[in-house]
Amino acid sequence: MPDLKKARIAVLVSGGGTNLQALLDAEKRGEIPHGEIVLVISSNPTAYALERAKAAGVPALAFSKKKLGGQEAFEKALLTALSEAKADLIILAGFLSILSGDFTARYEKRILNVHPSLIPSFSGEGFYGLRVHEAALARGVKVTGATVHFVNEIPDGGEILLQKAVAVEEGDTPEILQKRVMREAEWKLLPEAAEMVSKKIVSKEN
């Protein structure tokens, strides 16, 4: 029987890489049968996510927007690396750089992002990391969660693929809530979405 064709996945990161780890672990467990992680790119050369990639034997690169001289050069370096890796699907896993409309248009319905709220709540420009959970707690919501969506030129504005609700509990701090949302929603939704889209890509190409 021939080997199953797999979608080639590139994961873009900026920090600790917990979502990257969730993807690597899910792939190892056989939960992304139609996809394989072939490249990790960090916008921060000191990101711990690069160590996670190394430990998993996945090629990893780092590009600094500042050192490259701005957005255009940064995106050009990204596009070259993605093209060389023959990436079919891009997953933003805690990637803190906003991508231009020109970039996202080249990978229409091929870029996924996980956002730590139930979009449209607490989303859009300026809402990332702990800020999202601080806003949710300040508003007094009883339920929050995570959303995986396609990426377009509007921050958090692309089509929603998956959402999962997570309860806000008495005495939650932004840090406690962040960990619960990751554990109960982000780390489950991201591999699920990666498999969904990879399967579509592979079936189109066969």
Which candidate in 34, 115, 133, 149 is catalytic? 115
| Cis peptide bond prior to 120, omega within 30° of 0 | yes
Which tokens belong to 191? 């591999």
Q: Distance between alpha carbon 164 and the CA centroid of its chain, in Å?
A: 16
> DSSP states of 12-45 as a string?
EESSS-HHHHHHHHHHHTTS-TTEEEEEEEESST
Report the alpha-carbon distance of residue 20 to residue 23 in Å, rounded.
5
- At residue 61, φ and ψ (nearest 5 deg) are -130, 155
CA torsion sign for 57, 46, 186, 97 is: negative
| Number of other CB atoms surrounding residue 58 within 10 Å | 20
Which of 117, 2, 94, 108 has its CA nearest to residue 42?
Answer: 94
Report the alpha-carbon distance of residue 31 to residue 194 in Å, rounded.
Answer: 9
Contact 32, 199 (CB under 8 A): no
Rounded Cα distance between 40 and 163, Å, is: 25
Is residue 115 part of the annotated active site? The answer reads yes
Active site residues: 115
